[in-house]
Amino acid sequence: MENKKKPLILVTNDDGITAKGIRTLISIARELGDVVVVAPDSPQSAMGHAITINDTLYVKEFLQHDYDHKEYTTSGTPVDCVKMASHEILDRKPDLCISGINHGSNSAINVIYSGTMSAAMEAGIEGIPAIGFSLCDYDHDADFSQSRDYVKQIIEQVLEKGMARGVIFNVNIPKATKEEIKGVKICRQANAYWVEEFDKRTNPYGKDYYWLTGKFVNDDKGEDTDEWALDNNYISIVPTQYDLTAHHYIGELNTWDFGK
């Protein structure tokens, strides 16, 4: 980077501040700029774009001894963390927000349930270039080192080139060794989905309850999708937007009859 002033990088996630994924991302971010971490004090997976409006929020400095940057936890969701960072903790707007590295895939429709991506989205809404990173490995001790160079390169590109307003990167990394990873592909979100399977049980007091489980189904055979890229050991980047309008359908709807 030609810019002499170091960029301010906000790091967050949804697995909580002690997760291995965020520790990896912090160590990469520290090579590229001034780092502030604001992350949930406990795991917040599958929180989607939830925000805390019916409860109070607490913020605490998180003491860590390996580094010299500041870290904070909040009692809220990933989106709350970004809001708290922007409006209470930081004294200037960050140049970049990175979220993750998530323990588990956020490809295809998973983007919509993902706390990792919602945090990045929230930063995007606030005009901060933002990237969500996820590794397709749910293990809490997953090996994040294999894709380290790519993650760094993606962040560097965004710091150098900026990001179009309204766009956020959804980056997914295959579970593969450094040698197996073939490179980066720009993709569209695959049209894949979950088929739910509720695991019904009875508690010791005779009351039925359920665990949500499911099977991921991909009927989308396109070779331009994130699922295809990941299946073929590419890192996928889907440029993702929060304008949810189905612009292509507006013309059709204007022919419908909604009364006067």
Q: Which residues are annotated as a binding site?
A: 14-15, 45, 102
Contact of 235 with 229, CB cutoff 8 Å:
yes
Q: How far apart are alpha carbons 84 and 103 in whole angstroms?
A: 23
Closest approach, Cβ 3 to a second copy, in A, equals 17
- Nearer CB in complex with a second copy: 67/127: 127
Report how far apart the first and last C-alpha atoms of the chain are (Å, whole number).
Answer: 58
Closest approach, Cβ 30 to a second copy, in A, equals 20
Closest approach, Cβ 141 to a second copy, in A, equals 19
Contact of 37 with 71, CB cutoff 8 Å:
yes
> Checking phi first, is residue 14 left (phi over 0); if not, alpha (psi -120 to 50) or beta?
alpha
Helix (H) or strand (E) holding 214: strand 208-218
- Nearer CB in complex with a second copy: 67/195: 195
- Nearer CB in complex with a second copy: 24/86: 86
- Nearer CB in complex with a second copy: 50/69: 50
Contact of 129 with 97, CB cutoff 8 Å:
yes
The annotation places the binding site for a divalent metal cation at 14-15, 45, 102
Closest approach, Cβ 66 to a second copy, in A, equals 27
